Structures are given as structure tokens and as C-alpha cells.
């Protein structure tokens, strides 16, 4: 599974996953992606076959709904919780890396257009 980590999350999440051989890119580490509207990220991730990891569930759920209404598939959305993965805590970003490792070890979904709350 290829991951696109939204920019509210530390690029260290993607770095740690890449160090283990995972395909992960952080929006925050790519100058061409930083500050991009969610609709552009959704489109780029879909074209690249990437699953989006984001805390911004509202926008991405809306985009997934619009995509489905148009008969288009996306490569999955993992929605994170600000309460569980508090960026100001000592355990962050390791807590998110660990949760993503667990998810990637046994993904609960196969196929496309799925949404998973990582809480």
C-alpha cells in the first residue's frame, strides 16, 4: 500500500515508514504538494494509487462521496484522530507510526474506495 501523509502530520511519519521499506510520502516534505487544497491531494493520490492518511476527515469524506457519485474509485482514506495522535505529545509521531504499522501488517480492506478510522 502506498501512503500519502497529509501535511498536518510530521514528515517523520513517512520517513520512519520508508526506513522499513514502505512506500510513504509526506505532503510536508514535498514543496510541490505543501499547501495544496484537499481536492488536489485527493486527485493526485488517486492518480498515483496512494492511500491518504489525514486528520481532515470532513473534506476527504466529501471528496470520496463526490468521487463515488461520479463512478470513480480512490485508493482508500485513513482518517486519524487528533485526540489519539496529539502532535504536542511526547509519543507523537511514534504513536502514529506504530498504528500505521499495525494497519499495514493486516489491512482490513482489499480493493478500492474504502475509508478507515484509525482511532
For 12-63, the pLDDT digits (tens) are: 999 999 999 999 999 999 999 999 999 999 999 999 999 999 999 999 999 9
- In the three-class reduction of DSSP (H, G, I as helix; E, B as strand; rest coil), residue 28 is classed as helix
Range of the domain at 90: 2-118
Q: Is the per-residue pLDDT at 110 higher than 90?
A: no
Q: Can you give the three-state secondary structure of 43-96, one letter per residue?
A: HHHHHHCEEEEECCHHHHHHHHHHHHHCCCCCCCEEEECCCCCCCCCCCCCHHH
At 109 the pLDDT is 80
Q: Other CB atoms closer than 10 Å to residue 118's CB: what's the count?
A: 16
What pLDDT does 81 receive?
93
CATH code for position 110:
3.40.50
Number of domains in the chain: 1
Amino acid at each position: 500500500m502506498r501512503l500519502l501523509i497529509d501535511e498536518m502530520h510530521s514528515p517523520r511519519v513517512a520517513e520512519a515508514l520508508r526506513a522499513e521499506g514502505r512506500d510513504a510520502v509526506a505532503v510536508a516534505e514535498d514543496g510541490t504538494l505543501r499547501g495544496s487544497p484537499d481536492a488536489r491531494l485527493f486527485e493526485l493520490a488517486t492518480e498515483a494509487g496512494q492511500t491518504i492518511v489525514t486528520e481532515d476527515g470532513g473534506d476527504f469524506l466529501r471528496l470520496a462521496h463526490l468521487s463515488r457519485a461520479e463512478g470513480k474509485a480512490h485508493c482508500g482514506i485513513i482518517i486519524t484522530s487528533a485526540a489519539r495522535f496529539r502532535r504536542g505529545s511526547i509519543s507523537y509521531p511514534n504513536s502514529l507510526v506504530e498504528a500505521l504499522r499495525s494497519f499495514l501488517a493486516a489491512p482490513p480492506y482489499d480493493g478500492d474506495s474504502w475509508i478507515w478510522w484509525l482511532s
